[in-house]
Amino acid sequence: EVPSIHPGLFGGVSQWRGALEWKQRMLAYRNTLTLIVLARDSGSGHVELDSEGEPAVHYEVSPPDQESLVLGVMKGVRILVAAGATEVATQHLAYPPFKVSAELGLADPALEEWVRGIARKGLKPSEALVYSAHQMGTCKMGSSPATSVVDPNGQSWEVKNLFVADASTFPTPSGANPMITTMAISYMIAQRIKAMYPRARM
């Protein structure tokens, strides 16, 4: 996917390898294309309160998901080079960008070796930046309080009149941008709330 990435976000996710290189990267922003690789994660995590009562998130990318993401990055690099990129980089913290040969392009053995290096590095904790967006499935919708958080109307099984109407009602992650489905679920739940409370002032 090619995300909409404004300068502030681009600067925030650009790797820090020193002030000069970062400045050069920001100056090249207008000629930079960012690709992201999406994964329908098969793993899970949990949130608990730490010793100070603050929420602490625990999540590790599962081995199958790591493999899927790495394969996606490798293919993304080849796509960018085929499209004419002059330099490619990943979000691995200790993996320098690769300057693409204008003459050899995808046929450059050095490029192929660099791409294979991505697989060797993998996605070890604290060695590559992995981001999360469109969190899904944290308040799963279902037909039973034993296996879900909200009922088919989006209402919490435990708290009357508490409704959830976003991507957290998904039973599993979609593996793709969920916005159309999220809007459809929100609309459906809004209509059901209207039907349940016809005289309520909305």
| Residue whose token pair is 């400045």 | 23
- Residue 195's SS3 state is helix
Written as six digits, the tokens of 165 are 């109407």
Cβ neighbours of residue 75 under 8 Å, at least 6 residues apart? none
Active-site entry in 6, 58, 92, 134: 134
Per the CB < 8 A criterion, the answer to whether 173 and 136 are in contact is yes
Active site residue 46: no
Encoded amino acid at 51, one letter: S
Give the pair of three-digit tokens for residue 174. 């979609």
CA distance 146 to 140: 11
Q: Which residue carries 């300068």 as its tokens?
A: 7
Q: Which residue numbers are catalytic?
A: 134
